[in-house]
Structure 1
Amino acid sequence: MQVVTSMLHQLNDWMLVSDTGLLVPNAYARYNWNKPSITQLIALKILDNILLGPAYVAQKYGQSVPAVFVRKRGDEYTGTGFLATNRTDATKHVIVTAKHNVDPGEGITFTSFGSSQGACYRPLASEWFLHPKLDLAVMPVECSEAPTPIYPVGVARVLARTITLGYPLIATTDAPYLLAHGGELNAIVRNYKGEESLIISNLVAPGNSGGPVLDEAGLCVGMVVRALESKHEGGMSTANAALPSSAILEFIAPFLA
C-alpha cells in the first residue's frame, strides 16, 4: 500500500493525476488521469522514469552514454557523449558531445566510442559536425541493438533535481567508469555574448564534458561543458556550467530529418 501511495504522489507531482479528494472528500473516483500528458510521456518512453525515480533513470540511460575516446599529441583522453534524437520512431540517432572533446582544429583525433552496458555505436560520418559558435558537436550513428535514446526536450527549472552521467578520470582504476551524480539546477545565466548556460550543483570533473544533464523524468535539460572559474579576494570560486537543451535540439534537428 505504501508503494502505491508513493507512486500516486509522484504522478500527482507531475500533474499526471489530480486528487479530487481534497475538494470532494466523498467522491466516487478520487483520482482523475491527465490522459494527454500520459500519452506524451508514453511516446517518449519516460513514464517508468517518473514512477521509479533517479536511481532507475541513471541505470536505464547508462547504455546511452558512451565514452568518447580521442588522441591528442600522442596521449589518449576520454570524454563523454550521449545518444540523442528528436524522433519517437527510433529510426535515426546521433551522439552528442562537447566540441572541445573532438575538435580537429585543436589537434584532436577521434578514435572510437566506448561500449557501455553492451551497446555499441558505429559512426556514419568520417568527421564530427561542429557547431560554429557553441561548444557542441554531433555524430550520426547506427546502434548495435534497440537503443534507449535521450530526448533533449527537458525544461530547465531552478532548484529542480538533476542527474549527470559521465566518465571523469578516477585514479588507479583500470578503465573509464560511468559515474552518476545527483544535484540541482541553481541558475540560468547569460554571458556577455548573450549565450545561455545552466549552473548545476552536480559534482563533475574533466571527462564529464559532453555528458547529459537529465531531469527526474530522464529528459535532457542540458549538456555538461565547462567550469566557470572566478578569482576573488578570498580565493577561487567555481560553477559547473551546462549548455541548455534548446541549443542541442536545434543543432541536431537537420541530422535527424
Structure 2
Amino acid sequence: MRTTPRLILGFLLLALPLGAAPGPAWAQNAPAAGAAQPDPAVPVRIVNRTGQPATALHAVRSGRPDWGSNLLNRGPLPNNAAFAMRPSASAGCHFDIRLVLQDGRESTARNQDICGTPRVELSAAVTVAPAASVAQARPNTAARRVSTGTGFVVAADRVLTNQHVVDGCDRILARTPDGRWLAAVPPAQVDRALDLSILSIPGNPGPALAFRAGPAVRRGESVVAYGFPLTGLLSADPKLTRGEINALGGLRNDQNNYQISAEVQPGNSGGPLLDMQGHVVGVVVAKLDSRRVQNVDNVNFAVKGEAAQAFLRRAGLAFRTEASSGADRSAADVGDIAHRSTVLLRCER
C-alpha cells in the first residue's frame, strides 16, 4: 500500500492517500498556568433583556461541543432579571452563554470574557430551525483508492478545505466531531489558484468558526494548527500543533500564503490555522518537501485568512468574523474551539 503524497514544485501537499481497496466524479482542559481565572467571590451576572422569560440558561467554557445542563433549576428567568453564576477558579475566563426563551427562540453570546466583564446582557433572539433529518453515510470499504484530509465549518452545512483534498473524488464523506459520517453534495465550489474548496455537507457537521477580523497578523505570532495527519498510521482523533507565523509570504513570495512553523503532515490539508484567541487566520495547505529541497526542514504553509474570506465572499457565502483582542488563551482552549468545528474528510475514488 503506497502512502506517498503528491509533490508539486517542492511542495508536499497534505492530503493523505490511504490506498484502501469502487468508488461517479466531482468537478475541557484546564487553563494554562498563570492564565487569568474567575474569582469565585465575584458572581457573574447574566441578564435577560430579550423581552420575555427564559426557560433555560446554559453557560459553558468556550469551545465545548455541547451546552451542558440547564442552570435555571428554580424556574424561568423573567425579562430584565439577572442570574448570578459563580464559576470555579479553574473554569477559565471565556464562556459561551445561551438563553432559551419561552417561545422557543434563543439568545446566544459566545466567547464572553467573564473575568474582564462579569456582567453579560443577552437581548437579540433568533428562531432556531429544527435540525433536518439527514441519514448518515457509510464509508465504501471496497473503494479502489482512498485519501484523507481535513476541513472546517465556515457556515451552516458548509465546510472549507483545500481543492487538492477533493480533486478527482467520486465521493466525499465527512466524519464529524461527534462521530457521524455525512456525505458531501456535489458540486464543490473551488478556487484552484488558492487551492481552496467549499463543500456542501448537510446534516449539521458543526458550528462555524470565526475568521479573525483584526488586527493584522504579524510575524512571530503564535498559532495552532488542527487536523487529521497520517490517518491510519496515527490515532484516529485530531492532532494539535503549535507554532509561529514565520513569514507573511509563502513559496516564491506568494502573498496569498503564510509560512508557519507549526509542523504539519499529510492529512492536515484544509485544516484551520488559528490564533491564540481561537480565530481562523489561515487554512493549512502544504509543507516544503525536505526530500526535494536539501538542508531544509519544518517549512510549512497556510493560505491567508484574508484570501480565504475573499473566496467565501465570491462564492456568496456569509461567514463569521471577530476581532482578536484581550488575553491569549491556552493552546488547549484553542483546540477545544477548533475541535467542535473540524472534520475528517474521506475522498473515495
TM superposition score normalised by structure 2:
0.47
Q: Report if aligned partners of 1:227, 1:238 keep a CA contact under 8 Å in 2.
A: yes
User: Is structure 2 residue 264 aligned with structure 1 residue 196?
Assistant: no
- Give the SS at the match of 2:211: coil
- Give the SS at the match of 2:299: strand
User: Is structure 2 residue 96 aligned with structure 1 residue 96?
Assistant: no
Count, aligned residues = 193
| Structure 1: tracts of 5 or more residues without a match | 9-37, 52-68, 86-91
User: Is structure 2 residue 106 aligned with structure 1 residue 46?
Assistant: no
In the TM superposition, residue 117 of structure 1 has moved relative to its aligned partner by 2.7
User: Is structure 2 residue 317 aligned with structure 1 residue 256?
Assistant: yes
In the TM superposition, residue 229 of structure 1 has moved relative to its aligned partner by 4.1
CA deviations over 1:84-104 (Å, ceiling 9, x no partner): 13xxxxxx3520001111112
Runs of 4 or more off by more than 6 Å in structure 1?
A: 230-234
- Give the SS at the match of 2:285: strand
Q: Report if aligned partners of 1:222, 1:242 keep a CA contact under 8 Å in 2.
A: yes
Q: Report if aligned partners of 2:186, 2:200 keep a CA contact under 8 Å in 1.
A: no
Residue 170 of structure 2 aligns with which residue? 109
- Give the SS at the match of 2:164: helix
C-alpha spacing 1:138/1:237, structure 2 compared with 1 (3 Å): same
| Structure 2: tracts of 5 or more residues without a match | 1-31, 38-93, 99-107, 117-138, 319-349
User: Is structure 2 residue 220 aligned with structure 1 residue 159?
Assistant: yes
Greater fraction helix? 1
Residue 7 of structure 1 aligns with which residue? 36
In the TM superposition, residue 171 of structure 1 has moved relative to its aligned partner by 6.0
User: Is structure 2 residue 301 aligned with structure 1 residue 241?
Assistant: yes
In the TM superposition, residue 255 of structure 1 has moved relative to its aligned partner by 3.8
In the TM superposition, residue 120 of structure 1 has moved relative to its aligned partner by 6.0
Looking at structure 1, the residues matched to 217 and 270 of structure 2 have their Cα atoms a distance apart, in angstroms, of 17
Higher Cα Rg, which structure: 2
Looking at structure 2, the residues matched to 210 and 98 of structure 1 have their Cα atoms a distance apart, in angstroms, of 5
CA deviations over 1:214-239 (Å, ceiling 9, x no partner): 01111100011001247899634441
Paired AA for residue 239 in structure 1: V
CA deviations over 1:159-194 (Å, ceiling 9, x no partner): 111111111115655x63211112221111155585
In the TM superposition, residue 114 of structure 1 has moved relative to its aligned partner by 1.2
C-alpha spacing 1:237/1:118, structure 2 compared with 1 (3 Å): closer
Residue 56 of structure 1 aligns with which residue? none
Residue 187 of structure 1 aligns with which residue? 247
Residue 76 of structure 1 aligns with which residue? 146
- Give the SS at the match of 1:126: strand
C-alpha spacing 1:109/1:250, structure 2 compared with 1 (3 Å): same
TM superposition score normalised by structure 1:
0.62
Residue 133 of structure 1 aligns with which residue? 193
Paired AA for residue 230 in structure 2: L
Looking at structure 1, the residues matched to 294 and 167 of structure 2 have their Cα atoms a distance apart, in angstroms, of 35
Paired AA for residue 76 in structure 1: V
Residue 209 of structure 2 aligns with which residue? 150
Q: Report if aligned partners of 1:215, 1:221 keep a CA contact under 8 Å in 2.
A: yes
Looking at structure 1, the residues matched to 227 and 114 of structure 2 have their Cα atoms a distance apart, in angstroms, of 19
Looking at structure 1, the residues matched to 115 and 273 of structure 2 have their Cα atoms a distance apart, in angstroms, of 16
Paired AA for residue 245 in structure 1: G
Looking at structure 1, the residues matched to 274 and 266 of structure 2 have their Cα atoms a distance apart, in angstroms, of 19
Q: Any residues of structure 2 matched to 1:10-25 within 5 Å, and which? A: none
Whose relative contact order is higher, 1 or 2, with alpha carbons under 8 Å and at least 6 apart?
Answer: 2
Q: Please provide the CA RMSD for this pair.
A: 3.8
In the TM superposition, residue 78 of structure 1 has moved relative to its aligned partner by 1.1
